[in-house]
């Protein structure tokens, strides 16, 4: 269950910033909904990602993991699953990753 704090302007009628602030119809005031718990979680993640240890892990991820998915999408044109259901999707993803590994393996054997 999510809890929001709602902030609302008392009267936007004569405000010179109204056109840049809201696209609501005349008579409706600007509302802002804030989920404090969500904002705290976002701040926690930002703080974690700014730490040196965490940023080292993510730098390594860019080298180790992301190129595989980029290769799958760009070269093998694997952008969608053709099945439904978690177990079937896991099988299809396994086949796709197996294809990537076989390409790597054959490339090493040819050297």
Q: Comparing 25-29, 89-93, 98-102, which segment has the lowest mean pLDDT?
A: 25-29
Name the domain count of the chain.
Answer: 2
- 69 in the same domain as 52: no
Return the pLDDT at 67: 84
- The rounded percent of the chain whose pLDDT value lies above 70 is 99
- 49 in the same domain as 12: yes
- 48 in the same domain as 14: yes
For residue 69, the enclosing domain spans 65-110
Question: In the numeric block, which tokens belong to residue 35?
Answer: 């989920």
DSSP character at residue 5:
E
- 90 in the same domain as 46: no
- 52 in the same domain as 77: no
- 45 in the same domain as 87: no
pLDDT tops 90 at residue 63: no
Return the pLDDT at 35: 93
- 77 in the same domain as 28: no
- Which of 19, 40, 57 is at the close of a domain? 57
- 72 in the same domain as 47: no
Q: How far is CA 14 from CA 8, 19, 21, 72, in A?
A: 15, 11, 13, 55
**How many angstroms from the chain centroid is the CA of residue 50?**
18
In this predicted model, which residue has the larger pLDDT, 20 or 80? 80
- 102 in the same domain as 85: yes
């Amino acid at each position: 269950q999510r809890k929001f704090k709602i902030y609302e302007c008392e009267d936007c009628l004569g405000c010179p910033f109204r056109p840049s602030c809201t696209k609501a119809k005349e008579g409706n005031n600007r509302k802002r909904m804030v989920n404090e718990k969500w904002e705290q979680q976002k701040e926690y993640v930002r703080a974690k990602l700014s730490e040196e240890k965490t940023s080292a892990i993510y730098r390594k991820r860019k080298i180790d993991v992301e190129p595989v998915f980029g290769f799958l999408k760009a070269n093998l044109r694997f952008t969608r699953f053709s099945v439904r259901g978690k177990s079937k999707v896991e099988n299809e993803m396994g086949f796709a990753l197996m294809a990537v590994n076989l390409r790597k393996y054959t490339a090493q054997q040819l050297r």
